[in-house]
């Protein structure tokens, strides 16, 4: 795996930022100023760009698609090519303040193993999940007999509800420090303990987890 420290990006063009998603804005509120951040599945680099710009973060990214990595590096972002299913084990423990899975955890071959490694290398783990427990997905299962593999067009390999994800986190001895539901691209009130409302009505939820 390529090492993050080997990437020497050009100066970031702050006058031409990428367009962040709703969950990116929530994540930026979670991340402390000048934090060390590893973004897993960086895509076009929009989140890394936002965290550098808004939080002055030392944000790095890991992305599987070489074309996307090349485009990000040309934009001055510190993104390297790698496979999160295999490469997270190469990072030393405690390397980052935050490890982020922004809509990427459910696309991995083994989300549980990736989450365990993320908790080892980061002091906190931030995860955006697509909520398969949304009422529309429940109706589709009730009347169509099929489990939704996507929420609002976002395909996932591992469908899970809010409760499913919280159970997974707890099985790994991770605590939900805070979570923010998002519906129709609008964030709602953060929660920590009360799950039922988000489990029914949130399109996606951004969690921040601690050991």
Model confidence band, residue 140 (pLDDT cutoffs 50, 70, 90) = low
- pLDDT of amino acid 19: 64
Spatial distance between the Cα atoms of 42 and 24, rounded to a whole number of angstroms:
11
Is 112:84 a contact under the CB 8 Å cutoff? Answer: no
- pLDDT of amino acid 22: 93
Give buried/exposed letters for 11-46 (b at 16+ CB in 10 A, else e): ebeeeeebebbbbbbbbbebbeeebbbbbbbbbbbb
Model confidence band, residue 29 (pLDDT cutoffs 50, 70, 90) = very high
Spatial distance between the Cα atoms of 200 and 95, rounded to a whole number of angstroms:
36
| 154-188 per-position pLDDT tens digit | 567 788 999 999 999 999 999 999 999 998 888 88
Fold of 19-210: Rossmann fold (3.40.50)
Is 83:57 a contact under the CB 8 Å cutoff? Answer: no
pTM of the model: 0.84
- pLDDT of amino acid 14: 38
Percentages helix, strand, coil for the chain (3-state, rounded to 5) are: 35, 25, 35
Spatial distance between the Cα atoms of 64 and 34, rounded to a whole number of angstroms:
26
- Work out the burial of residue 116: count CB atoms within 10 Å of its CB; fewer than 13 is exposed, 13-18 middle, 19 or more buried: middle
Spatial distance between the Cα atoms of 176 and 140, rounded to a whole number of angstroms:
29
In 50-121, the DSSP E strands lie at 58-63, 79-81, 96-102
């Amino acid at each position: 795996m390529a090492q993050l420290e080997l990437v020497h990006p050009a100066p970031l063009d702050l006058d031409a930022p990428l367009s962040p998603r709703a969950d990116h804005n929530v994540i930026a509120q979670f991340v402390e100023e000048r934090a060390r951040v590893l973004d897993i599945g960086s895509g076009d680099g929009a989140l890394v760009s936002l965290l550098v710009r808004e939080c002055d973060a030392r944000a790095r990214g890991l992305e599987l698609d070489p074309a996307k990595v090349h485009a990000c590096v040309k934009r001055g972002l510190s993104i390297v090519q790698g496979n999160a299913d295999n490469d997270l084990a190469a990072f030393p423990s405690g390397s980052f303040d935050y490890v982020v899975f922004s809509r990427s955890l459910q696309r991995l071959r083994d989300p549980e193993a990736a989450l365990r490694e993320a908790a080892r290398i980061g002091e906190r783990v931030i995860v955006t999940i697509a909520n398969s427990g949304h009422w529309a997905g429940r109706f589709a299962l009730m009347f169509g007999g099929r489990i939704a593999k996507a929420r609002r067009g976002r395909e996932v390999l591992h469908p899970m509800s809010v409760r499913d994800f919280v159970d997974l986190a707890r099985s790994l001895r991770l605590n939900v420090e805070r979570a923010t539901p998002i519906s129709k691209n609008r964030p709602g009130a953060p929660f920590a303990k009360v799950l039922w409302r988000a489990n029914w009505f949130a399109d996606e939820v951004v969690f921040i987890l601690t050991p």
